[in-house]
Structure 1
Amino acid sequence: MQLIETHLVPILEKPIRLQEYGVGVFKTTPTKSGIKKAIKKGLLLVDKKTTTSALFINGGETIELYQTEENDSFKRLELKLDVLFEDDFLAIIYKPAGILVSGNSFVTIDNALSQNLQKSTQFDAVRPRPVHRLDYPTSGVLLIGKTNASILALNKLFENKEIQKTYHAICIGKMNSEGKINNPIDNKEAITNYKVIEMVVSERFKFLNLVKLNPKTGRKHQLRKHLSENGNQILGDKEYGKEELQLKGKGLYLHASSLEFEHPFTHEKISVIKELPKKFRKIFPAF
């Protein structure tokens, strides 16, 4: 085996599993699946010892990555991303609809970040990593961490509900001008506030509404589930919508339009807005 990269873990606010912490740390093995394979093959050592993916990293450890002769280098994904904000700690990018944020697929936002963002000059710089998710069919703003400290700090902001997320969707049917949906998801509290911005008459759907959505919790598929349960499924939702109201070939009309939060290091107010996609404006031209 040949040593190819060494990483000294900075002091962490809370322990994190090795397979989670290692994502983005090593240039030659940046993905979670790559880290898991390296651990399984005994190529990732912590303080000179082989380990398992269940090990918790606390801070102060030395992690070494080795390779064998047959180890392939990471293939770079060439995918141009729209960078909406970037500094030495974090970035905000636009995720197009129809692309995974991360996962086992090669074509993901996660795999394209290093080619679109500048490398951080901070001592704990890592390969840029998304700190939250957007569904495959959802477009919009996505927050990225560029250092270990910023990833931990941004996750803390999400946990404390100190990041305000705004979405826009086109929903089917008659709706109240505004309201609050408070339906548990997977036996956990889930709250979504909504406000109808404009309504148009539709020959096929009777009514279409441009709706502003402010989720107060972040459950999986929360907005799609809540609007469907409210009797106002999101246009193009094949998973939670009624089959007779399906719209083929246009995708999901759900867009993460803005993020607002206090920068965890510079303390400036960050407010990034991404305009609605063209398919929204074809139905609601004023926006």
Structure 2
Amino acid sequence: MAKKAQKSWTRRVSGLKSPQALVEYSQQVFPILNSKTAVKKAIAGGRLLKNGKKARAGDRVENGDHLQLNGFGLSKARSFDADIEIVYEDDHFVVVNKPAGIAVNGNRIKTVENALAGVARPSSRADALPYPVATHRIDVPTKGLVLLAKSKSALAKLATAFQENRIKKAYMAVVHGKTPPKGRIDRALKGKKAITDFETLEVVPSKVFQHLSLVRLMPVTGRTHQLRIHMQQENHLILGDKEYAGRQKTVLGKGLFLCACRLQFDHPETGKPVDIRIKPPKRFQKIIEREKERY
């Protein structure tokens, strides 16, 4: 039987060039606090301490400060029955193929985390989490690979790897237009650096869209909706993306043609390379073939 997990984290602030907002810094160093809302809840609940005293949302931190987070602060998993494919699982993490239409986590019932609670194999680690916790997110309409940690130590290591861009992700997408053979999109989003590399796998003529392209997208950074916005900015809207289509005509009723198909990272415990891949949905190739026939 696994030992009861220790529910306390401590961090000594170091390496800052200037004071930083406590909320932002805590989100970076405590992976369990995966949003500003989670940090603020920890502060409101008295679980986040600065130099031994209850922290305040307006606090700033400087080198030498000590932060302590008590308790997981995880909401109790809510019952949600969904058929989610587990692609890989061990004692430290689980990788699933998220269906389009449900969230990874958050204050709602239809989430991957809720669906896995009680379904994923419990971790035998001493610092086991009460249920698998997502280390990153993909959009609700996006299908594909999501990595969730099963222990506190795995969560911390994987979250740090994401922050340091040591976890490589690749997506497949069908987009409007004829894309270049390969390239890099370097356009800031909301004032933050955002970079996407891409390569074209196939281009077909289309009566409705002139051309459709099957592309591999490799985000170097991880901004919200980065791939969808970058492709729209390059006049290569992802097929089915009604949120960013504006007045542009696209295929509706068949979902977003974007799938997270590959994750590459070092195992948080052994350090050995992990390379997990899935194929995109069959509809990706079907629509390419259909456009060929129509033309």
- Measure the CA separation in 1 of the matches of 2:202 and 2:135: 32
Residue type at the aligned position of 2:68: N
**Partner residue, 1:9:** 7
Matched, 1:141 2:134: no
User: What is the CA–CA distance in structure 2 between the aligned matches of 1:64 and 1:180, rounded to whole Å?
Assistant: 39
Picking from 237, 241, 248, the partner of 2:245 is 241
Distance 1:45 1:195 in 2: 44
Q: How far does residue 244 in structure 1 lie from its aligned partner after superposition?
A: 3.1
What's the CA shift string for 1:156-195, capped at 9, x where partnerless?
Answer: 1111111110001101012211111111111111111111
2: CA distance between counterparts of 1:118 and 1:57? 32
Secondary structure of 2:270's counterpart equals: coil
RMSD, aligned α-carbons: 3.3
Per the TM alignment, residue 214 of structure 1 is displaced from its structure 2 partner at its CA by: 0.8
- Given the superposition, is the C-alpha separation of residues 235 and 110 from structure 1 closer, same or farther in structure 2, using an over 3 Å criterion? same
Q: Distance in 1 between matches of 2:267 and 2:148?
A: 12
Q: Take 1:13 and 1:198, find their aligned partners in 2: how far apart are those partners?
A: 48
The correspondence for 1:176, drawn from 176, 180, 200, is 180
- Aligned with residue 127 of structure 2, among 112, 124, 127: 124
Residue 206 (structure 1) aligned to one of 178, 195, 210: 210
Q: How does 1:104-119 map to 2 (within 5 A)?
A: 104-119=107-122
Q: Residues 258 and 7 of structure 1: is their aligned pair in 2 closer, same or farther, counting only changes over 3 Å?
A: closer
CA distance in 1, matches of 2:219, 2:203: 21
Q: 1:83 and 2:95 equivalent?
A: no
Pick closer, same or farther for the CA change 1:281–1:10 going to 2, 3 Å. same
Matched-pair contact (CA < 8 Å) for 1:45–1:64: no
Kindly provide the amino acid, as one letter, of the partner of residue 118 in structure 2. Q
CA drift at 1:53:
8.8
Distance 1:53 1:276, change over 3 A: farther
| CA distance in structure 2 between the partners assigned to 1:229 and 1:263 by the alignment | 35
Q: Would the alpha carbon gap of residues 22 and 214 (structure 1) be closer, same or farther in structure 2, given more than 3 Å must change? A: closer
Q: Return the TM-score normalized by structure 1.
A: 0.78
Work out the CA distance in 1 between the residues paired with 2:214 and 2:101. Answer: 21
Superposition deviation, residue 45 in structure 1: 11
Residue 58 of structure 1, aligned match among 51, 68, 72: 68
Conservation of the 8 A alpha-carbon contact between 1:164 and 1:259: yes
Secondary structure of 2:118's partner? helix
Inter-partner Cα distance in structure 2 for 1:146 and 1:117: 9
Q: Deviations over 1:204-259 (max 9, x none)?
A: 11111000011111111111111111111111111222423232211111110000
The superposition leaves residues 83-129 of structure 1 with CA deviations (integer Å, 9 ceiling, x where unpaired) of 11111111111101111111222111121122331111111101210
CA contact (8 A) 2:31 2:159 kept: no
Secondary structure (helix, strand or coil) at the match of 2:148 reads strand
Letter in 2 for 1:87: D
TM-score (norm. length: structure 2): 0.76
The amino acid that maps onto 1:85 is: Y
Provide the secondary structure at the position in 1 that maps to 2:235.
coil
